[in-house]
């Protein structure tokens, strides 16, 4: 067994519906004979409890077969930032290596990958008292008024935020009040994630389709499967809680946003109005395609990545062989 410091940290990334989970489990099964594997989820939706169907969360059986981390660690009411991911993933990588296992990062939240590879903006920590004060001001004056206030102190950030984007307006004003600096100014300074490595593009195996129509069909099939598995009941249960709203990061996840909007439209139309599932499906599939396009665009910018054609019949075999080759050459 390799010394903990000698164990690499590998990553499997790809657009939604590209087969990341199946590929990671196959890698873990093959490596189990020589090296245990623990999976670190790189997915901003999987962190939330109660959001299982719409996030295509690995099943309990899959999570029992291979240790998974950073799944079901947050209530949907609470945000989980890229900075928190870097902190948690960095610690997990060290812990997994210390156990003599291989850390395997798996997911499609490219902001998390970027933060872990390139570093994260060194912004102030959250301040509950300041946030509460801003919240009170918003209740009295409205978020558009606070957006106008933000434009006076941080026009760069205000320009990219909608006047009703309460969460981001609140965070930007909080940073300004706590530090005396605009949020946009922190984008020029980075704290290198030195303890996370080596995490580099050459250690990233990217599942990318050669034929985008293949991925579009997979996305549509996945959305249909979600609906058949009870996705709308899952969203209804989240709405019934009473403390969640569509501006939360959890409810802005692709699929959940469209489902929430569809239920809002149904409620507005009246209790006897049926849910427009056809429109929901169309909007959900389109939004997921757009997400996948952004994911692939980011991956293509990582020129050192190792590309696996996820629409190839032997894609999983190719992935396993590429990982074995990387480990044998380490």
- Residues with Cβ within 8 Å of residue 199, at least 6 apart in sequence: 9, 11, 93, 105, 116, 117, 193
Question: What pLDDT, on the 0 to 100 scale, is given for residue 200?
Answer: 79
CB 205 within 8 A of CB 134: no
pTM, 2 dp: 0.82
- Taking 50 as the pLDDT cut, the residues of the chain under it are 1, 189, 191-198
Q: Quick one: pLDDT at residue 2?
A: 56
Specify the pLDDT at position 187: 57
C-alpha–C-alpha distance, residues 186 and 192, integer Å: 14
Instruction: Give the length of the chain.
Output: 330
Are the C-beta atoms of 258 and 287 separated by less than 8 Å?
Answer: yes
Cα distances (angstroms) measured from residue 65 to each of 48, 60, 94, 140, 305: 21, 9, 21, 52, 28
Q: Are 179 and 194 in contact (CB under 8 A)?
A: no
For 37, left (φ over 0), alpha (ψ -120 to 50), or beta?
Answer: beta
| Structural domains of the chain, ranges and CATH numbers in brackets | 4-122+190-210+304-328 (3.40.50.300), 128-188 (1.10.20.140), 214-292 (1.10.287.890)
- The span from the CA of 93 to the CA of 193, in Å, is 12
| Number of CB atoms found within 10 A of residue 113's CB | 25
Strand order in the sheet with 306-309: 67-69, 37-42, 102-107, 10-13, 204-208, 306-309
Q: What is the pLDDT of residues 19-35, one digit of tens each?
A: 999 999 999 999 998 89
Bridge-partner residues for 13, per DSSP? 107, 206
User: How far apart are the C-alpha atoms of 248 and 251, rounded to whole Å?
Assistant: 5
Tokens matching residue 196: 């996370």
Burial class (CB in 10 A: 0-12, 13-18, 19+), 248: buried
Q: How far is Cα 40 from Cα 45, in angstroms, rounded to an integer?
A: 13
Predicted local confidence at residue 193, as pLDDT: 42
Determine the straight-line distance between the first and last CA of the chain, rounded to whole angstroms: 13
70, 308, 216, 219 alpha-carbon torsion, rounded to 10°: -20
């Amino acid at each position: 067994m390799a010394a903990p410091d000698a164990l690499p940290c590998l990553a499997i990334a790809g657009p939604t519906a590209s087969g990341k989970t199946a590929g990671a489990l196959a890698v873990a099964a093959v490596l189990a004979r020589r090296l245990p594997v623990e999976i670190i989820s790189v997915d901003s939706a999987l962190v939330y409890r109660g959001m299982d169907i719409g996030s295509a969360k690995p099943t309990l059986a899959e999570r029992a077969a291979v240790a998974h981390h950073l799944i079901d660690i947050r209530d949907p009411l609470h945000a989980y930032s890229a900075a928190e991911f870097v902190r948690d993933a960095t610690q997990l990588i060290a812990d997994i290596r210390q156990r003599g296992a291989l850390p395997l990062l798996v997911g499609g939240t490219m902001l998390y990958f970027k933060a872990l590879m390139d570093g994260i903006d060194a912004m102030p920590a959250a301040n509950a008292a300041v946030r509460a004060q801003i919240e009170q001001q918003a209740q009295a004056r409205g978020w558009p008024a606070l957006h106008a206030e933000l434009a006076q102190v941080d026009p760069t950030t205000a320009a990219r935020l909608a006047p009703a984007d309460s969460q981001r307006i609140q965070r930007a004003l909080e940073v300004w009040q706590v530090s005396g600096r605009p949020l946009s100014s922190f984008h020029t300074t980075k704290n290198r994630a030195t303890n996370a490595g080596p995490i580099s593009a050459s250690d990233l195996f990217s599942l990318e389709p050669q034929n985008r129509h293949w991925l579009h069909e997979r996305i549509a099939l996945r959305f249909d499967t979600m609906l058949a598995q009870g996705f709308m009941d899952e969203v209804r249960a989240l709405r019934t809680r009473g403390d969640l709203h569509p501006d939360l990061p959890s409810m802005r996840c692709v699929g959940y946003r469209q489902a929430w909007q569809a239920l809002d439209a149904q409620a507005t139309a009246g209790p006897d109005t049926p849910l427009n599932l056809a429109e929901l499906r169309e909007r959900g599939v389109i939004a997921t395609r757009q997400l996948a396009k952004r994911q692939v665009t980011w991956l293509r910018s990582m020129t050192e990545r190792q590309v696996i054609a996820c629409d190839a019949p032997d894609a999983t075999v190719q992935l396993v062989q590429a990982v074995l080759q990387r480990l044998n050459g380490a």
